[in-house]
Copies of this chain bind each other. A is one copy, B any other.
Amino acid sequence: MFQSVAICGVGLIGGSFALALRQAGFSGEIIGVSSPATIEKATSLGVIHRGAPLEQALVEADLIYLAQPISAILDCLPRLDAARPEALITDAGSTKGAIVARAQRPNRRAQFLGGHPMAGKEITGVAAAEASLFRGRNYFVTPNSPAELETPAAIEFLDLLAKIGAVLRIASPADHDRTVAFTSHLPQLISTALAETISTEFGDKAEMGAGPGLLDMTRLAASSYDLWADILATNCNEVNISLDLYIAHLTKVRLNLQNGLKKEFTIASSFSKSLRNR
């Protein structure tokens, strides 16, 4: 049983994981590794018990949860060699190839197992954290081989994910990155390009034609580039492929505007409804 959990990066995801753990019955200590201001806020909100420097947290924790931005996770990985041999290190980064590759360290004693919760909100920061954030949401775990899921620490971690209500998805890092290029990164870029196109074309006057559909389609566009620069940089090839394919489909839609798009609408409508009925 995990007795002590270190959360590195106590923001929306890290904070929500801490709250979800407690709600699922975890009674051990939750240590935050974050900036002094965040530690103070997270402690006063009752999200973590206390803060500690990374080096000290590593000596104590048997579950180390990396919930920083991707570039901070990449910077952090070489500093985890001192983690306890029986501990599990996992992360919540939105791309997995670069992180899992960087995590291969001959001198580290603890196991690393990559992860990616498909959860989020428009607002970030620990004040927005909630215990139910992962409930009913896909949660990727990305071992290099199935044997990585059979260690005692991995078995306990997967059990924890089930307890916090996440829908477990096992995939290789490469399969993960290819899938989310289409299901997450492509939608983000489509939304950003839509908002940018309309803003450039109409400016504020676009408001007069805004309905519920435009609000849906531009919600993701509000996301900050700070977060997305890391994601795009670490999944550039797959995102490029997904954009290329999407532009080809959209060009076909444009060519068929007059000839009818019944087939496209039928496939799309069926897909949209099946996503909602799962």
Q: Which of A248-270 contact B (CB under 8 A)?
A: 249-251, 253-254, 257-258, 260-262, 264-270
| Nearest CB of chain B from residue A102's CB, rounded to whole Å | 20
Interface size on A (CB < 8 Å)? Answer: 90
Q: Which residues of B contact A200 (CB under 8 A)?
A: 249, 267
The answer for the CA separation of A205 and B182 in the assembled complex, in Å, is 12
Decide: A201 near B269, CB < 8 A? Known: A208-B179, A210-B138. no
0 or 1 for each of A223-253: is its CB under 8 Å from B? (1 = yes): 1110011001100100110011111011101
Whether A225 contacts B138 by the Cβ 8 Å rule is no
Query: Does A206 touch B at the CB level, under 8 Å?
Result: yes
Whether A267 contacts B195 by the Cβ 8 Å rule is yes
0 or 1 for each of A169-192: is its CB under 8 Å from B? (1 = yes): 101000010011011101111111
The answer for the CA separation of A178 and B3 in the assembled complex, in Å, is 62
Q: Which residues of B contact A188 (CB under 8 A)?
A: 213
Decide: A250 near B210, CB < 8 A? Known: A216-B219, A272-B222. no
Q: Which of A22-75 contact B (CB under 8 A)?
A: none
Q: Which residue of B lies closest to A189 (CB)?
A: B253
Q: Which residue of B lies closest to A222 (CB)?
A: B272
Q: Which residue of B lies closest to A240 (CB)?
A: B257
The answer for the CA separation of A166 and B246 in the assembled complex, in Å, is 36
Whether A190 contacts B192 by the Cβ 8 Å rule is no
The contact sample of 6 A-B pairs, CB cut-off 8 A, is A138-B211, A189-B253, A190-B217, A199-B270, A216-B217, A247-B254
A-B pairs with lowest CB-CB distance, top 4: A118-B211, A183-B209, A225-B265, A195-B268
Known interface pairs A190-B190, A217-B217; 13 further A-B residue pairs with C-beta atoms within 8 A, sorted by A's residue number = A140-B208, A182-B206, A184-B214, A190-B194, A193-B250, A196-B271, A197-B246, A200-B249, A207-B278, A221-B268, A222-B273, A225-B265, A236-B258
